[in-house]
Structure 1
Amino acid sequence: MGHLHIYMILNRRRFFLAMVSFFLPFFLLNGFSPLKGFKRSVLKNGLSVFIKQDKKTPVVSVQLWVKAGSVDETPENNGISHFLEHIIFKGTENYSVSEISRAVESRGGIINAGTSKEFTCYYIDIPSSGFIDAIKIIADVANQKATFPEDEIERERTVIIEEIKRSEDNPENILYETFNKQLFTVTPYKWRVIGTVDVVSKLSRQDLISYYKKFYVPNNMVLVIVGDIDYKETRKIVEQLFGQAKKSDVPERKSLIEPVSEPSFERVKKPVNYSYLLMGFLGPEVQQEEYQITADVLSIILGVGRSSRLYHKLREEQQLVYSIGSGFYTQKGTGVFFISALCSPENVETVKDE
């Protein structure tokens, strides 16, 4: 029987920062900027808007980023951000669920959403001929015009509960959740994005509406538009569709800076054929944005792809693992640097030591 091995190496943070410091000057000197080409503005109601005109291809992406995720939740409503994400596109005051689907998919577009610990994102990628419908649908989301049909809520509740149950049988997910629970014991990063069956089963329609009205306000959102559009015309449309919503106070987030704790180890027994290994430590914080960017690159050098250092040494040279990789979770607060591997049970200790 294989095992799931979770190692915490929290006291190696200084080593990590020393490593990223080595790579940092390269990126700063080469003018790396993820916002190159964007024009930023802020509406009077506090909505931040980023627009980039790019006419290389006749497509447009309209995205709404909401500062609401599992870090904004409590034990009583954990999972509500994700639940809300499932419901928002199920109908608005101006578009039924079928009209939303038809407006986007009939043009070959894509409509989707995602939830993380820190934010929820709604987006529509569509040929530029469908831009007006796309931005109107996103505006309905931003302007609190979602209608929350009761039948859709119950349908999505069932879907989410099944998602949770599947995740609890998935070795890699069990590994991650156990790792996260040990790494974050103080800050709200400890909450699961998907929530729990017990909490999701109890969330009411009014709970969803109240959360929506509390967090989906213009000064708590960012609108991003990229593609085959005219900047000046798009800026006018944005003002017309999004400018009337009123700003509102949003609950202040609890501290997202996780204190360093003692190293720890946990082994979870599961009926699997291999051993899954996950080890990591706390990384750069919000005040260290330049380190966060460099940390992503460092993780690529160490463990992304067949040319990475870890793959070359542990997979090709020593043949100790079936797969290995590394990564960095960039977060508003304390980040996470991790290394994961799949190996035979007898090789776990050797891989860990390497």
Structure 2
Amino acid sequence: MKRKFLLTMAISGLCFSAFAQKVQFTEYDLDNGLHVILHQDKTAPVVAVSVMYHVGSKDEDTTRTGFAHFFEHLLFEGSKNIKKGEFMKLVSSNGGQNNANTTQDRTFYYEVFPSNQLELGLWLESERMLQPVINEGGVKTQNEVVKEEKRLRIDNSPYGKFTEKIFRHLFDGSPYRWQPIGSMEHLDAAKLNEFIAFFKKYYVPNNAVLTIAGDIDLDKTKSLVKSYFAEVPKGAPVVRTPYELPPITKEVIDTAYDANIQIPAIFAAYRVPGMKSRDNKVLGMISSILSGGGSSRLSTKMVDQKKTALQVAAFNYTLEDYGAYITLALPNKNTPLNDLLKDIDEEVLRLQTDLISESDYKKLQNQFENSYVSANSKMLGVAENLANGYTFHNKDSNDINKQLDVIKSITREEIRDVAKKYLNKNQRIVLYYLPKK
């Protein structure tokens, strides 16, 4: 049985090596500054059409937060050629799926269609970019939609405000201190001309990347892209003011109350480097060691052995300019929150002191190779990862092919040293998240 198991593992390793192939792509710019990335894959008759705009909540005015997320919704209202409410109907009636999402750093729109509907996807995104309808009626409609989303996902969701509480301290002095959902009061107070100005500033071709991945003919696709997007006028260059936050040198302790919970929680958060940093990738590996699955260190110790925690986690919240490394735990059997924090700190100290074993190191690399393959197993994943490389890694779309090599080059010593550099008690925010009576 052991020999059979080893053989299976060897075959799995070969499969990973075979599937983790280089992602081929073609890229170029239109005269209006729109960057275009094409990835041809004819294994299935599917195509993903996506546009990533380099605008998120960090680009908002301090008195008008929530604009970027608001536009995620508003740009589905229609255009001069698409009637109100018809955008999603056109997608679904032609066998497609579509959605959008907004972070602190970017807004991402996409459609996934049967490949014979590529032109429809390009037309829809060009209409969104060229001539969307932005009027009082659409603003009012989407204002109510956003308010309902906030009530559902944040206000009435258990533990829904922990990032809001943590980021307020962790990123004080930067636009990361507020969440993408923003302030409803700010949205209520905004005038129509402010929404139009925000669109004209950020939703321009020279602040976007169009990525098409799937069963496409490259020459035909280039011709279609030109016919639908070349007429979109170029916008003024987007200029961002760089900022640098002073280091956190003293532990900050805060308490939050939530009427939606019965079980308290404790969080510890550390400010860490952004996504361009090699250390950020090391922190991702540290997260996997601490809480990546049932056999991880925190889960084994606190959930399985000591049974002091119902749930425990550590994750790296990656942003463009900075990041937040967050640990959390929910108590079992009324275990004091400070006891949970002490157990987490012990495992962090263990990482800072001792090298992980060779077997754990190999397991970690296999996990990340598996994640890499999974992330690029669908055309939408390839499209988004290509766009991320261009948007956030100095216009390097080929970053998609470098990620795995970087992970493989990270050493056990780096894991120890990065934990020692960033995960210290005097550099963190501790949040006691308690039920509100």
Instruction: Place the TM-score, normalised by the shorter chain, in its bin.
Output: 0.7 to 0.9
1:276 and 2:251 aligned: no
Q: How far off its partner does 1:33 sit?
A: 8.8
Cα 1:34/1:321, change in 2 over 3 Å: farther
Q: Which moved more, 1:57-66 or 1:149-158?
A: 149-158
| 3-state SS of paired residue (1:97) | coil
Residue 150 in structure 1 maps to residue 136 in structure 2:
yes
Counting matched residue pairs gives: 323
In the TM superposition, structure 1's runs of 4+ consecutive aligned residues that sit over 6 Å from their partners are: 32-35
- Aligned with residue 323 of structure 2, among 308, 325, 335: 335
The 2-side partners of 1:124 and 1:60 are apart by: 8
Instruction: Give SS of 1:327's match.
Output: strand
Residue number in structure 2 paired with 1:117: 104
Task: For 1:62, give the aligned amino acid.
Answer: V
Matched, 1:322 2:284: no
Structure 2 counterpart of 1:61, from 48, 53, 66: 48
The two structures have a TM-score, normalised by structure 1, of: 0.84
For residues 83 and 98 of structure 1, the distance between their equivalents in structure 2, rounded to whole angstroms, comes to 17
Deviations 1:69-94 (A, max 9, x none): 11001122111111111110111122
Partner of 1:77: 64
Match of 1:224 among 194, 211, 216: 211
Q: Is the 8 A contact 2:207 2:238 kept in 1?
A: no
Percent identity reads 27
Contact 1:256 / 1:334 at 8 angstroms: preserved in 2?
Answer: no
**1:13 match:** none
Between 1 and 2, higher relative CO (CA 8 Å, sep ≥ 6) is seen in 1
1:272-293 deviation digits (Å, cap 9, x = unpaired): 32112221211223552x3333
SS at match of 1:235: helix
With the length of structure 2 as denominator, give the TM-score of the two structures.
0.69
Q: Letter of the aligned partner of 1:267 in structure 2?
A: T
Which position in structure 2 is the counterpart of 1:308? Answer: 296
Q: Deviations over 1:295-343 (max 9, x none)?
A: 3233223213213221112111111111112211222101111112222
Structure 1 stretches of 5 or more lacking a match? 1-29
| Cα deviation, residue 34, structure 1 | 10
From the superposition, tell whether residues 76 and 33 of structure 1 become closer, same or farther in structure 2 (CA, over 3 Å).
Answer: farther
The 3-state SS of whatever aligns with 2:284 is helix
Q: 1:34 to 1:94 in 2, by over 3 A?
A: farther
Q: In 1, distance between residues paired with 2:86 and 2:279?
A: 45
* Secondary structure, counterpart of 1:346 in structure 2: coil
1:347 maps to a residue whose letter is P
Secondary structure, counterpart of 2:307 in structure 1 = coil
1:250-282 deviations in whole A, cap 9, x for unaligned?
Answer: 442232543322321112233432112221211
Q: CA RMSD in A?
A: 2.3
Structure 1 window deviating more from structure 2 (149-158 vs 194-203): it is 149-158
Which has the greater radius of gyration? 2
CA 1:35–1:293 in 2, change beyond 3 Å: closer, same or farther? Answer: farther
Tell me which moved more, 234-243 or 313-322: 234-243
Contact 2:164 2:178 in 1 (8 A): no
Out of 205-214 and 65-74, give the one that drifted further.
205-214
What is the CA deviation profile of residues 205-225 of structure 1, one whole-angstrom value per residue up to 9, with x for unaligned ones?
Answer: 322111101111111111111
Contact 1:66 / 1:222 at 8 angstroms: preserved in 2?
Answer: yes
Alpha-carbon distance between aligned partners in 2 of 1:323 and 1:205, rounded to the nearest angstrom: 45
Q: Tell me if 1:298 matches 2:286.
A: yes
CA drift of 1:350 comes to 1.1
1:263 aligns with 2:256: no
User: C-alpha separation between the residues in 2 aligned to 1:35 and 1:225?
Assistant: 17
